[in-house]
Amino acid sequence: MGGGAREGEEVAKGMDRRRRREVLEEVVAGGCCEGSRVREGDLKPMDAEQLRENAHKMVDFIADYYKNIENFPVLSQVQPGYLRKLLPDSAPNRPESLQDVLDDVQAKIFPGVTHWQSPDYFAYYPSNSSIAGFLGEMLSAGINMVGFSWITSPAATELEMIVLDWLAKLLKLPDYFFSTGQGGGVIQGTASEAVLVVLLAARDKVLRRVGKDAIGKLVVYASDQTHSALQKACQIGGIHPENCRLLKTDSSTDYALSPELLNEAISHDVAVGLIPFFLCATVGTTSSTAVDPLLALGKITKSNGMWFHVDAAYAGSACICPEFRHYIDGIEEADSFNMNAHKWFLTNFDCSVLWVKDRNALIQSLLNKSRVSKKQTFVPRNTYHSASEANMVVDYKDWQIPLGRRFRSLKLWMVLRLYGLENLQCYLRNHIQLAKHFEELVSQDSRFKVVAPRKFSLVCFCVLPPCDKEDCANKLNRDLLDAVNSTGKLFISHTVLSGKYTLRFAVGAPLTEERHVNEAWKVLQDKASALLQSL
Amino acid sequence: MGGGAREGEEVAKGMDRRRRREVLEEVVAGGCCEGSRVREGDLKPMDAEQLRENAHKMVDFIADYYKNIENFPVLSQVQPGYLRKLLPDSAPNRPESLQDVLDDVQAKIFPGVTHWQSPDYFAYYPSNSSIAGFLGEMLSAGINMVGFSWITSPAATELEMIVLDWLAKLLKLPDYFFSTGQGGGVIQGTASEAVLVVLLAARDKVLRRVGKDAIGKLVVYASDQTHSALQKACQIGGIHPENCRLLKTDSSTDYALSPELLNEAISHDVAVGLIPFFLCATVGTTSSTAVDPLLALGKITKSNGMWFHVDAAYAGSACICPEFRHYIDGIEEADSFNMNAHKWFLTNFDCSVLWVKDRNALIQSLLNKSRVSKKQTFVPRNTYHSASEANMVVDYKDWQIPLGRRFRSLKLWMVLRLYGLENLQCYLRNHIQLAKHFEELVSQDSRFKVVAPRKFSLVCFCVLPPCDKEDCANKLNRDLLDAVNSTGKLFISHTVLSGKYTLRFAVGAPLTEERHVNEAWKVLQDKASALLQSL
């Protein structure tokens, strides 16, 4: 507490409560903190030259991080609760220096970081940083506006519309996903939010028809390979968990959803009086990059009046290459389509791109109804109202869960411009090529097996137990995963396919080269040898 | 499309579809894009030295922006659709230079930006950028990890727990909001997400008791001054709109919610078989900084077994000053408490801090149930499992709507350390002092009137029409708002209080000094004179 506040408390003693507060406030405000002056040498809240000086320091710190990134254990090796032991238990009263903070980042934070940008990171799916993406984040943080509606920064809304039209063009999406028609694109934070908002739009659309008390009859469909975000969206939206059909897949379809199974499930549900309303198909599942057959599935949804959402969070990026575009053939049947530019498209997290065919369906579910005006919270009229009446203005707050939103289109715009289509295609093809190389390495070692077809940059594989010990297969693979990850030399993750513990090797970090794949494979071989010998 | 792809298409002609694709993929991957090599001079996806060079340029660009920020019109003056005319309709094939992009930002983007960081910005509520907040954003974008669970970067989860405990201590929150107990803090994107997640937790808690088919009976309460995010949360969560009670307020309580009215409404609803389950109180409403009486309201919720949420999105920051802490007296009755560090606490958007008393209630609603493991998606065991079993590990994905999350605690940590408590208090007091100064200016001009008591840094006021023209009061104030905003010299917004169009002057931009307030007032006086003369 400042000296002024203490002084005020003295002065205010003996007064009644309300008067005490007033005096306290008075003395404090006029006392220790005249104007916005801070002590000589203290960092000001904002100051162009102090910003310049300190941000240059931060640039060097971050560039050095990338220079040395291979020296860190990829997967953090700390124990839970490690950080509390290293940091004080209160915020400081007086300012500390940037150097103090950076020293702490180096000594205390970095050991607890799992380095997603390491070239030896092969876990989950990638989460690309890039020079362009990073610069876009900087610029967005510099401008730091909150673009909830058009007027709060027209450039933020309009650049988003334009850039998502650019990307839709690269993906050869149907016309109705472009902002020039009834639909359009919007940047969500994550694929979880994307599936949630379209589920809500679909829910409310059907409830307007059948009445809101029928919510218990609504049924959602997807394969059992679908990301858990769908179930979470159902839970949030009040869809009964027993009405969430996760249809079984197996290796006979490479873990893709079978249209026949979907048809059967829908017929059965309709027969018992339930209301099918939503299908989530996936192009590139989280487990094994399975691709659901969009065209066949889309026809079924259409004939049943259902909303058809396509989740291509990871694999969507690859579809800017003509040779991979066929994986989204049938997208013209979809009501919504999602890909995460923050996964494998060099755009820093978060940037999940959602296109919808009918933007009004979204808005009808997600409109922020203001007390002040039916259309807008606190919006000045000048240029705005005439435009709004002409329906030329998009307010993205009504397309998403949160009200506020960052200027995220800047980073995607910078990625597209600073790399250009050709280099982006090369970037994706290179990872796919490296994954193919890894797949070949696995195939050449008879102790290992590739367990699902590689389509993009993910290889699903396992180490095989000796013939007489097949029941230990899951344990063996789990032990192998733990063994390689605890070296810190690489980080891979796992999945379960047809009940089998399966290792995943996902290529996709911006710095990964062939030598990293080769070294990772060597660690895997060495650790497998040791484990197999100890059996 | 690269030359390799075109070549591949030639080669592949005449083959069957599947074989064609394979050949195409083969040729393309081996052709234009060997390795990750890009042409000489092109920006690489990631490279420490290219990052350093370009990010230094970006730092200077952003520092220059702040140096010149007073030269921009605060409120963007562009017409809807302006940007599409200025940008190409496709992404480029080949890379462009950073200089080209920065030139476009200057010439095409900045005119469409509403400059929230301008010292002449007095609209809505502030959205603080700061040197520390900006540096934190840079570092977070540099590390670019996705901290959905503890293992994906233990430091991200643990720093968030520690920093929110620090902040809870500064706010003197009750023990059960600290991470050391059954509750804890979590950074959400926005206050809208904060109220949504606690509403869902409360909904599911009561539905577990009364059965999920009773959802149509659940009733939510708040004042009519509550942010529209509450109604949106109800809509998302399937609470029937007619069960969302927005209780009337007026100037007799300074627009605060009356405990008597709440009691009456609850009694009435219980009597007709409805189930009251949630109250959202506000400390510092969006319209006029009204403060609901937490202690009295909290006792009512407790005796009715309801969840009590306190939204202090804007005003919460001020409560780190002892002389303002009394505004959250009664917080010990709350189940959850929210303040936006990104509003008035120098932490760049987004950073909305939510504390809950019972974290399990959140988790029971928001758990991402994985197909792979009941507890986790793809989590390696090594250090993790033993810890998880000991319940020492927090997975923040289960406390929020999205799965992925940025390393947002870094910026809040840097704000707290680089400024320290004393300077943060000074910062807040200075804005309050400036608002008080503005209030005095308004009071001294008999043509104007202050229309609601100033508590923090917002002044609600209006210009008075001549006695014989009282019916034009709303139009006059709307015209004044438009007139001052279209000068570009300042930006203010409005609200409606008791049916009256009311101007809002919110001090809170980091660069605002007394001279900016004085100049803004002069513009307001000049424009009011002109309007009053023309009547």
What CATH number should be reported for the domain holding residue B185?
3.40.640.10
| A347-352 average pLDDT score | 98
Which of B347, B375, B406 finishes a domain? Answer: B406
A 246-275 near B (Cβ less than 8 A): none
Chain A residues in contact with B232 (beta carbon < 8 A):
366-369
Helix ranges, B294-408 (H): 294-303, 341-344, 359-366, 382-389
B305 touches chain A (CB under 8 A): no
Q: CB A63 to CB B48 under 8 A?
A: yes
Is A199 a domain residue?
A: yes
B 352-411 near A (Cβ less than 8 A): 365-372, 377-383, 387, 390, 392-393, 401-404, 406, 410
Q: Residue B320's domain spans which residues?
A: 146-406
Q: Are residues B167 and B304 in the same domain?
A: yes
Q: CB A63 to CB B55 under 8 A?
A: yes
Among B58, B60, B115, pick the best mutation site for testing chain A contact (most A Cβ within 10 A): B58
Percent of chain A with pLDDT over 70: 89
| pLDDT in the model for residue B375 | 39
| pLDDT in the model for residue A469 | 82
Q: Are residues A222 and A366 in the same domain?
A: yes
Is B243 a domain residue?
A: yes
CA–CA separation, A491 and A486 (whole Å): 8
Q: CB B404 to CB A350 under 8 A?
A: yes
Q: CB B81 to CB A417 under 8 A?
A: no
Is A454 a domain residue?
A: no
B153 contacts B535 by C-beta, under 8 angstroms: no
Q: CB B131 to CB A90 under 8 A?
A: no
From B47, B80, B401, residue closest to A192, measured CB to CB? B401
Q: Which of B291, B435, B323, B320 is nearest to A25 (CA)?
A: B323
From A83, A165, A215, residue closest to B159, measured CB to CB? A83
The SS3 assignment for B162 reads helix
Q: What is the dihedral of CA A396, A400, A406, A412, to 10 degrees?
A: -80
Question: Does A200 have pLDDT greater than 90?
Answer: yes
A 514-533 near B (Cβ less than 8 A): 514
Which of A388, A406, A424 finishes a domain? Answer: A406
What Å distances lie between residue B27 and A274, B7, B10, B442, CA to CA? 50, 8, 10, 74
| pLDDT in the model for residue B1 | 35
Q: CB B322 to CB A495 under 8 A?
A: no
Question: Does A285 have pLDDT greater than 80?
Answer: yes
| B352-356/B448-450 β-pairing | unpaired
| pLDDT in the model for residue B32 | 52
Q: CB A59 to CB B56 under 8 A?
A: yes
Is B437 a domain residue?
A: yes
Count up the domains in chain B and report the number.
2
Q: Are residues B429 and B392 in the same domain?
A: no
| pLDDT in the model for residue A384 | 47
Per-residue pLDDT in tens (0 to 9) along chain B, 535 residues: 334 444 445 444 545 555 555 555 554 544 455 544 578 889 999 999 999 999 999 999 999 999 999 999 999 999 999 999 999 999 999 999 999 999 999 999 999 999 999 999 999 999 999 999 999 999 999 999 999 999 999 999 999 999 999 999 999 999 999 999 899 999 999 999 999 999 999 999 999 999 999 999 999 999 999 999 999 999 999 999 999 999 999 999 999 999 999 999 999 999 999 999 999 999 999 999 999 999 999 999 999 999 999 999 999 999 999 999 999 999 999 999 999 999 999 999 999 999 999 999 999 999 987 655 443 334 444 444 455 544 578 999 999 999 999 999 999 999 999 999 999 999 999 999 999 999 999 999 999 999 999 999 999 999 999 988 878 999 999 999 999 999 999 999 999 999 999 999 999 999 999 999 999 999 999 999 999 999 8
CATH number of the CATH domain containing B128: 3.90.1150.170
| pLDDT in the model for residue B371 | 55
Structure tokens at B356: 């809950």
Among A114, A354, A384, pick the best mutation site for testing chain B contact (most B Cβ within 10 A): A114
B 3-42 near A (Cβ less than 8 A): 5, 8-9, 21, 24-25, 28-30, 32-33, 35-36, 38, 42
Q: CB A5 to CB B323 under 8 A?
A: yes
Closest approach of A422 to chain B, Cα-based (Å): 6
Q: Are residues B304 and B384 in the same domain?
A: yes
Is A231 a domain residue?
A: yes
Q: Is the peptide bond before A329 cis (omega within 30 degrees of 0)?
A: no
Q: Are residues B312 and B392 in the same domain?
A: yes
Q: Are residues B345 and B461 in the same domain?
A: no
Q: Are residues B336 and B298 in the same domain?
A: yes
| pLDDT in the model for residue B24 | 54
Which of A371, A387, A406 finishes a domain? Answer: A406
User: Strands, E, within B386-476: which ranges?
Assistant: 448-450, 458-463
Compute chain B's Rg from CA coordinates: 27
Number of alpha carbons in the 13 Å side-chain half-sphere of residue A59? 24
Q: Are residues B240 and B377 in the same domain?
A: yes
Residue pointed to by tokens 């910003």: A51
CA–CA separation, B29 and B36 (whole Å): 11
* Least confident range of A39-43, A294-298, B20-24, B200-204: B20-24
Is B21 a domain residue?
A: no
Closest approach of A295 to chain B, Cα-based (Å): 16
Is A111 a domain residue?
A: no
Q: Are residues B139 and B152 in the same domain?
A: no
| pLDDT in the model for residue A213 | 93
Q: CB A494 to CB B58 under 8 A?
A: no
Among A124, A422, A492, pick the best mutation site for testing chain B contact (most B Cβ within 10 A): A422
- pLDDT band per the 50, 70, 90 thresholds, residue A16: low
CA–CA separation, A160 and A136 (whole Å): 13
Q: pLDDT by residue (tens digit) across A381-418? A: 444 445 554 457 899 999 999 999 999 999 999 999 99
Q: Are residues A17 and A157 in the same domain?
A: no
Q: CB A155 to CB B83 under 8 A?
A: yes
- Is the reported ipTM for this assembly greater than 0.90? yes
Q: Are residues B292 and B365 in the same domain?
A: yes
Is A470 a domain residue?
A: no
Give the pTM.
0.93
B379 contacts B463 by C-beta, under 8 angstroms: no
Q: pLDDT by residue (tens digit) across B41-67? A: 899 999 999 999 999 999 999 999 999
A532 contacts A445 by C-beta, under 8 angstroms: no
Residue B247 CB coordination number (10 Å): 16
Q: Are residues B432 and B518 in the same domain?
A: yes
A 446-475 near B (Cβ less than 8 A): none
- Edge-to-edge order in the sheet of strand B500-506: B448-450, B458-463, B500-506, B493-497
Chain B residues in contact with A78 (beta carbon < 8 A):
154-155, 383
